Amino acid sequence: MRIDQTHKPWLYFTLAAIALSAIVFIPYARTATQPGGGTPIGLTFGVLALALMVFAALLSVRKRFPVIRIGRSRLWLKAHLWLGFLALPMVLFHAAFHARGLLAAILMVLTIIVVASGVYGAYLQHTLPSKMFRQVPYETIYDQIPVIRAQLVTEAQQQAFNVAEMLAPARGAGATVVLTMLTVPELGAEVAAFGLFFDSEVLPYLQAERPLATRMAMYDRTRAAEEFDNYRKLFPQKAWEPITAIQDIAEEKRQLDHQLRLHHFLHGWLLMHLPLSAALLLLGFIHAFVALRY
CB 35 within 8 A of CB 42: yes
What gap in Å lies between CA 28 and CA 34, rounded to an integer? 10
pLDDT of residue 18: 96
Higher local confidence (pLDDT), 59 or 55:
55
Interval 33-43: pLDDT, tens: 888 888 899 99
Work out the pLDDT band at 179, boundaries 50, 70, 90. very low
Give me the pLDDT at residue 278, please.
92
pTM of model > 0.75? no
SS3 179: coil
Q: Is 76 helix (H, G, I), strand (E, B) or coil?
A: helix
* Poorest-pLDDT segment among 22-31, 71-80, 99-108: 71-80
User: Cβ of 230: how many Cβ atoms within 10 Å?
Assistant: 12
Are 179 and 169 contacting, i.e. CB atoms less than 8 angstroms apart?
Answer: yes
* Three-state secondary structure of 192-214: HHHHHHHHHHHHHHHHCCHHHHC
What gap in Å lies between CA 173 and CA 59, rounded to an integer? 73
**Which tens digit of pLDDT belongs to each residue from 121-167?**
888 888 876 776 666 666 677 778 889 999 999 999 999 988 877 76
Pick the closest to residue 152 from 257, 252, 224 (CA basis).
252
b/e code 271-282 from CB counts within 10 Å (16+ = b) = eebeebbeebbe
